[in-house]
Amino acid sequence: MRILVTAGPTREYFDTVRFISNPSSGKMGFAIAAEAAARGHEVVLVSGPVAIAVPADVKVVHVVSAEEMFNAAVSAFEDCHAAVMTAAVCDYRPTRRLDHKLKKKNRVRPIQLQPTRDICAHLGRTKGDRVVVGFAMEDHDHRANAEKKLQRKRCDAIVLNGIENVAGDDAEIKFLRADGGWQASIGGTKVVLAEAIVNLVENLLDKTS
């Protein structure tokens, strides 16, 4: 099977050197890509800026901004059976990017933001009989927000991921399946969690075949 995985952060620049981003390391997405490839799946990994070696037998597409990730993910998904959306995509970007470095002055400089396009929701709307697994990074009302995201983005499952998991090697996650509700928590290294997530994807694909 052919699987799309998105990973890492995006960067949304407001001048030539400064940007809005987040601390995502990409470790979870890269671990999922490596596990899926090790099982013989064809993997396309669309990654924002990270400092991780590309896993063996994985095709990687490097991007920077949310718009670049949107375009790369949508293109790759055309030939995929499933998508696992681990990337921490910025929800907003500056409405204007200066063509020079903004010089420091002793006054407030407002920056207007506009929403970026929702990659996971777009894939959910266009998936047909394919599988889309989203990630929910929540810092409050965890389950309620994940349940809303599952419905809004039309995912087959959501992986609930807390902000305490960002950049670490260990994590605890929960699965919310559209066809089965909440599953038990799973903890361990991100390599161990990647095994569980690829198991989830394979199980969901089996149900659609």
pLDDT in tens, 120-144: 999 999 999 999 999 998 788 989 9
pLDDT in the model for residue 98: 94
Return mean pLDDT, the chain.
Answer: 95
Buried/exposed code over 139-172 (b: 16+ C-beta within 10 A; e: otherwise): eeeeeebbbebbeebbbbbbbbbeeebbeeeebe
Say which of 22, 71, 145, 203 is annotated catalytic.
Answer: 22
Span 78-99, mean pLDDT? 97
pLDDT in the model for residue 76: 98
Residue 106: active-site member: no
Span 1-5, mean pLDDT? 97
pTM for the whole thing?
0.95
- CATH numbers and ranges of domains, the chain: 2-208 (3.40.50.10300)
pLDDT at residue 168 above 90? no
Tokens (6 digits) for 194: 């990647």
